Chain A
Amino acid sequence: MSTDVLLSAQNLSVRFGGVLAVNKVSFDVRRGEVFTLIGPNGAGKTTVFNLISRIYTPTTGTIVYDGAELTKQPAHAVASLGIARTFQNIELFEHATVLQNLLIGRHTHRGTNLLDDLLFTPRARRAAHEAREKVERVIDFLDLQHHRDSMIAGLPYGIRKVVELARALASEPRLLLLDEPSSGLNVEETEDMVFWIDDIRREFGATVLMVEHDMSLVSKVSDRVLAMNQGEVLALGTPEEVQAHPGVIEAYLGSQEDMSSLRRAPAP
């Protein structure tokens, strides 16, 4: 694995009124690795995601992506830099088919202008074919052939989750942000997800940054893990190191002192 940095967050803080949602968080994501954020609910993981995809602007700190400052970019420009994301509570285009959803994923590669579209010029037709070929590659990769022409509104949750991953992949991202890819999936689907994340890295050459709670998935696919709690970094390292870190255990399970206070007083 190479060690050069694709995304570097330095000293990130974001404040919503009196709440300091993210407090001085710094980390580097290396090119080609799977980097996972873990932490209890409300730790600020999704906020970090929203900072990277420019839905929020950090109060202080910088995010450098591939040598360029990301916080200066408007939200819609992030996709054309090669950053794609999924959402924790699926945000698909409900009244469109799976195919249309994936084609929207290719928006940054559209290759036509308004006039081409209005007249459907040969160029627009060519672009439509190219987009379709790229999308079909993703459909094959994620086994979505059966659902190609189904409306999202009629699909079960597990399939929607995969469609969202497919839509992000359709944009040929260099950095893929996955917000809880396994939430709501059953054991079998979660195992598929493990293979897919592995393959995404190998076949599509994407760097993966994800938020995840399922520790078995995390330890199977992640190269490095960042544990957060209450907006601050707790630990950073390999999955084993982070799982063994006392601060992480405390954040998830509570400290020894807390436990002893719960214990029944010894009989006199």
Chain B
Amino acid sequence: MRFIFKTSYEQDIALAKHGGHKLWYSLLMLVLLAAPWLLDEYGLAQLTLVLIYSIVGLGLMLLAGFTGLFSIGHAAFLGVGAYTQAVMTNAGIPFPVALVAAAALSAVVGVVVGLPALRVKGIYLGIATLAFGFIVEEVFARWESVTGGNAGMHVKAPAFFEWKLETASELYFLCLLATVISTLAILNLLRSPTGRAFVAIRDSEISAQSMGIHLAAYKTLSFAISAALAGLGGALYAHMIKFLSPDQFNIIQSIDLLLMVVIGGLGSVHGAFLGAIFLITMPQLISSVKDFLPDFIGQAPGLKAVIYGAVLIAFVLFEPLGIYGRWLKTRTWFSLFPFYRKGMFKRQKSFQKSDRLR
């Protein structure tokens, strides 16, 4: 059991709240820095994908988990970022410029999508973003002169004049850097007035407005930041996959992204990372278990979709706080042993206004 004795306001705004945080996050960083030497080629590729999806997840978490706006078309932003990056690097533009441009263009598209969000809420916003996702996918397929249409397009390795990032570990470090920067930006945002304004909008719009929060501006801002992160993730994804086609940014991808933040744990930054790990490792787990199952189950088509669906239903029913919530409970159980009570994390049902979150 850890008791934090607070002696300064600085402790409440510090990123690492106590020595344990410093130790574990430094160790995690060391392991991540050493990963190219610790993992084989396949493992490193998986880890790179986890990082990329974490960036996208952070963006969607900000939007869905902290601002309370759901987007079922987030793959569109991923696609805008990916195609922007592909077109620009193929044209020989240095990759840092392309990355910034990909994030910026996605942000602009995010603002455009954010505008209807000012008028519609909940399920209607879901439908609006879903429709937007279809439109963008269609644009990718039809705008052949730029995107190569359904035939797809190849993406060159990221290059900065003569310097080329061709190996897997170079790309990995680029993704790691982008992840660290995005995470710090989100954490900073959440401990400052902008992030608190998002949380205020999520929990009570009317009261947020009376506190002087400009609802339209902050909702649009949330969409823009979320889309920018998805665009950045998409740009890195383009380099990772090296070949883009419109069907990579369809509704299935959007649902995967939403699944990721819900299973990871809405309303927590950790959730974005845990969700990304889940999303990337799950197909591997399924295919490794496949061989031990009887053929009519193991070889059945759509096995992955069924398992994903079942897991999502299980989480919504039994652990609405996601993997991160489960971790919090486990940690509390150990730190309070033997005094953990079953109802400790139970939310009071009365007075619960922000049901849109959990």
Residues of A within 8 A of B (CB): 53, 55, 74-80, 84-85, 87, 90-96, 99-100, 103-108, 110, 112, 114, 116-120, 124-125, 127-129, 131-133, 153-154, 157, 160, 167, 171
Contacts and interface: CB of A to CB of B under 8 A. Distances in A.
Contact of A93 (B10, B199, B214): B199
Contacts of B188: 117-120, 124
Contact of B352 (A94, A104, A112): A94
Contacts, number: 124
30 contacts: A78-B210, A79-B210, A80-B212, A85-B210, A91-B204, A92-B204, A93-B208, A95-B199, A95-B203, A95-B267, A95-B358, A99-B12, A103-B196, A106-B193, A107-B193, A107-B211, A114-B194, A116-B192, A117-B188, A117-B193, A120-B188, A120-B192, A127-B193, A128-B9, A128-B191, A129-B10, A131-B193, A133-B9, A153-B352, A157-B351
A107 B212 contact: yes
A55 B351 contact: no
A54 to B, nearest CB: 9
B58 to A, nearest CB: 13
A132 B12 contact: yes
Closest 9 CB pairs of A and B: A79-B212, A91-B207, A117-B192, A93-B203, A108-B212, A110-B193, A120-B188, A117-B194, A76-B214
Contact of B207 (A80, A87, A114, A128): A87
Given A79-B211, A93-B207, A112 B193 contact: yes
Contacts of A117: 188-189, 192-195
B128 interface: no
Contacts of A74: 214
Interface string B181-203: 00001001101111111011011
Contacts of A53: 210
Nearest to B187: A120
A100 B199 contact: yes
Given A91-B204, A91-B353, A153-B348, A105 B211 contact: yes
The winner among B13, B199, B210, B215 for most chain A CB atoms within 10 A is B210
B2 interface: no
Interface of B: 9-10, 12-13, 185, 188-189, 191-197, 199-200, 202-204, 206-215, 221, 267, 347-348, 351-354, 357-358
A124 B212 CA distance: 19
A174 B12 CA distance: 29
Contacts of A167: 211
A117 B189 CA distance: 5
A132 B9 contact: yes
A171 B212 contact: yes
Contact of A96 (B10, B12, B199, B347): B199
B216 to A, nearest CB: 9
B117 to A, nearest CB: 16
Contacts of A133: 9
Contacts of B348: 153-154
A261 B211 CA distance: 50
Contacts of B357: 95
Given A107-B197, A128-B191, 19 more contacts: A55-B206, A75-B210, A78-B210, A84-B211, A91-B206, A94-B354, A95-B357, A96-B196, A99-B12, A104-B196, A104-B199, A104-B213, A107-B196, A114-B221, A117-B192, A119-B185, A125-B13, A128-B13, A129-B10
Contacts of A104: 196-197, 199-200, 208, 211, 213
Contacts of A171: 211-212
B212 A128 contact: no
A103 to B, nearest CB: 6
Contacts of A95: 199, 202-203, 267, 354, 357-358
Contacts of A116: 192
Given A92-B207, A94-B203, A107-B197, A128 B347 contact: no
Contacts of A132: 9, 12
A167 B208 CA distance: 11
Contacts of A85: 210
A110 B199 CA distance: 15
B13 A77 contact: no
Contacts of B196: 96, 100, 103-104, 107
Contact of A112 (B9, B192, B206): B192
Contacts of B194: 114, 117
Contacts of B202: 93, 95
A143 B141 CA distance: 62
B331 to A, nearest CB: 17
Contacts of A107: 193, 196-197, 200, 211-213
A90 B351 contact: yes
The winner among A53, A110, A157 for most chain B CB atoms within 10 A is A110
